Structure 1
Amino acid sequence: MLARMTPPTVPTEFRTPRLLLRAPRPQDARAQVEAVNASLPELRRWMVWAQEPQTLDGARENLAQAAEAYARRENLRLLVWTEDGTQLLGSTGYHALDWRVPKGEIGYWIATAHTGHGYAQEVAAFLTTYALDDLRFRRVEIRCDALNARSARIPRALGYTLDARLVNDDVAADDPTRLRDTLIYSLTQ
C-alpha cells in the first residue's frame, strides 16, 4: 500500500535556458489579458477557458485563485516569461495533482506571437525532469485533443508513451455540440 505523501515545498520560480517560470500573482493580470486576448483565435479551439476575451478584473481574480492553489500545492500553475521577466509568453504547470501516487499532468499554452520557437517543448522538458527527479513523481501525463497536432508533438519528442486515445471523451472547447477524443501520454518511474 502506498503511504500518503505530504506535498513537498515547491519553489515559486524556475529558470530554463531561455525562460523564467514563475507562480502567478494578481499583478500579472495586464500581461495575462494581453497575451490571452491576442491569442484567442488560436486558443479557442483547444481551451474551454478561452472562449471569451479576458477582462482585467477577471484576470486578477483568476491569478489570485491560482496563487492560492499554488501555495496549497493543489495546482502548480506557472506563467512563462522571457528570461528577463519582462514579457509574458504563456502559461504552464502541473495540474490534476495526486500527491498520494505522486503524479500530475503538465499543461501548456504559448501566446500566438511566440509560437514556433520551441518554448512549449522547453517548458514541458523542464517540468518533466523536475517532476521525476525533484518531486519524485511516479507518473507524469500530458493530455491533448487528438486534433491538436502541435501539442501532441511535444510529448512524443520528449519520449512519452501514448497510453490511450479516449474516444468521445469530452466536448470540443469551441463547440459543445461536437465530441472530441483525448490523447493521454505518460512517463512513469
Structure 2
Amino acid sequence: MNPLLSDIPLQLETERLILRAPLQTGDEEIVHQAIRDSFCELKAWLSLFQELPTVEETEILLKNAHINFLKRESFRYLIFDKGGGKDFIGTTSLHGIDWDIPKCETGYWINTKYSGNGYMTEAVKELANFGLNHLAFKRIEIRCESRNFKSQFIPEKLGFEFEGTLRNEALSADGSKLTDTCIYSKVN
C-alpha cells in the first residue's frame, strides 16, 4: 500500500497526555517558549538548537513537520498534559521512515520544567506502540549520544534492546568533537 493512503491519526492519547500533530494556530508560540525555557539542555544535545530560533523559524519548523506528516515521511507530535489543558510538554516523532522494511527511528525532547515526571517515557511508549501495532513497523530505533543518560533512560525503561554503541559515529551538537551513539531497538 502506498504510505500516502495510510490512516494516521492527528491525535493520540495516553492516561495523562495528548499527542497531536502541529497544525494549530499558536503552536509556534508555545513551542518557541518551551525552546527558550529549555535552551541550555537542548543546545547540549541537538544541533538544531545551537542558536535560539525566532518565533518565525519555529513556525517554519512546525509547518515543515506538518508537511512531512502529510507526505508520510515523519510523524511529529506535540505533547500536552491532558489535565493541565494547554501545558506543552515537548515533542516526539517517528522519523527516518523506511516504508520498504518498514522501520523508523523515534526522537524526542522535553520542556525542562516537565522533566522527571515520566511524561516523555509515557509519550514514547504510546508512539512506539502506535508504530509497531498500527503501522506494523518491523523495527523502531532510538539513537542517542552515549553521554546523554536522561535520553538513554527512556528506551531502557520501555524495554528496548540495547544493540550497541557506534564509536566516533557523529559530531557533538556543537560540531566540536566526535561522539559515540547508543542504539536501542524494538522489533516486531
TM-score (norm 2): 0.94
Cα distance in 2, alignment partners of residues 54 and 34 from structure 1:
10
1-structure distance, mates of 2:101, 2:62: 27
Which position in structure 2 is the counterpart of 1:37? Answer: 36
Percent identity of paired positions between Structure 1 and Structure 2: 37
Q: 1:169 to 1:73 in 2, by over 3 A?
A: same
CA distance in 2, matches of 1:87, 1:157: 24
Q: Deviation digits for residues 122-172 of structure 1, max 9, x if unmatched? A: 011111111111110100111100000111011111111111211001110
Q: Please state whether the residue corresponding to 1:147 is helix, strand or coil.
A: coil
CA distance in 2: counterparts of 1:158 and 1:87, whole angstroms: 24
Q: Tell me, what secondary structure is at the counterpart of 2:51?
A: coil
Match 1:22 to one of 11, 20, 28: 20
Aligned-pair Cα RMSD in Å: 1.2
Mark the runs of 5 or more structure 1 residues left unpaired by the alignment.
none
Gaps of 5+ in 2: none
1:112 maps to which residue? Answer: 112
Alignment of 1:27-106 (within 5 A): 27=25, 28-83=27-82, 85-106=85-106
- 3-state SS of 1:44 partner: helix
Shift of residue 75 of structure 1? 1.1
For this pair of structures, how many residues does the alignment match?
Answer: 184
* Kept after mapping to 2: 8 A contact 1:95/1:105: yes
Q: 1:12 aligns with which of 10, 13, 23?
A: 10
Answer yes or no: is the 8 Å Cα contact 1:26–1:64 preserved in 2.
no
CA displacement at 1:60 relative to structure 2 = 1.3
TM-score (norm 1): 0.93
Report SS of the residue matched to 1:45: helix
How far residue 22 of structure 1 moved from its aligned partner, in angstroms, is: 0.6
| Structure 1 runs of 4+ with >2 Å offset | none
Aligned mates of 1:56, 1:21 — CA distance in 2? 21
* More deviation, 134-143/155-164: 155-164
Tell me the amino acid that sits aligned with residue 64 of structure 1.
K
